[in-house]
Structure 1
Amino acid sequence: MSDFGSYGGGSMDAKKQQVMDQVRSELALANAQELINKINEKCFARCVLKPSTKLDNSEQNCLSNCMDRYMEAWNIVSRTYISRVQRESQNMGGSGF
């Protein structure tokens, strides 16, 4: 049998669930990293016009507002996407996520 057969203890269903949980966790981490990278890229370009050794008050406010709006938009898009995937999965007779 392959190495996968000896992975962890318990039934094959438990092993599958463990692998799926790990994949979900890694995807969540990748999404969080993507969010942070995009916020840094977009908000810095928009708010910090003359980089220096420190941020002035207007830059700090701009960055704070930009990050808040970007995260709100990200959350809306993520919820909508997940809802659509679940709906399509159910329409196809799948079990969903």
Structure 2
Amino acid sequence: MDYSSSSPKGSLGPNERAALMSNIKQQLDVAHAQELLQQVSEKCFKMCIQKPGSSLSSSEQKCLTYCMDRFFDAANIVSKAYGQRLQKELANAR
């Protein structure tokens, strides 16, 4: 029998490791999205809603829409810049 492809008890093979890393990345992405949504909700609510009531005025709706758009635009810019910086650092490390 050929045992060269089997891994010791408790360790993961390459396919299992890749699946685990993919699962972890997916969970981190979901957590990041939830955190971002929580932040934008808190910040925009504080900025746009002066007197909470049973409904939003048209100006509050516009303010929330604009605030959320700007917040997500800024988050995307930061994320893109961070990704570019990581790629540059990885390229320099080689």
State the TM bucket, normalised to the shorter chain: 0.7 to 0.9
Question: Corresponding residue for 2:87?
Answer: 86
Question: Corresponding residue for 1:39?
Answer: 40
TM score, norm. by length of structure 2: 0.86
Q: CA deviation at 1:32?
A: 0.5
Question: Corresponding residue for 1:63?
Answer: 64
* Number of residue pairs the alignment of both structures matches: 86
Gaps of 5+ in 2: 1-8
Question: Corresponding residue for 2:15?
Answer: 14
Q: CA deviation at 1:25?
A: 0.3
Larger Rg: 2
* Superposition RMSD in Å: 1.1
Q: Percent of counterpart pairs with the same letter?
A: 40
The one of the two structures with greater contact order (alpha-carbon pairs below 8 A, sep at least 6) is 2
Runs of 4+ in 1 over 2 A off after TM superposition: none
Gaps of 5+ in 1: 6-11
Give the AA of the match of 1:41.
E
Note the alpha carbon deviations across 1:3-42, whole angstroms, 9 max, x for none: x54xxxxxx1111111111111011101100110011010
Give the AA of the match of 2:56.
L
Cα separation, 2, equivalents of 1:61 and 1:52: 16
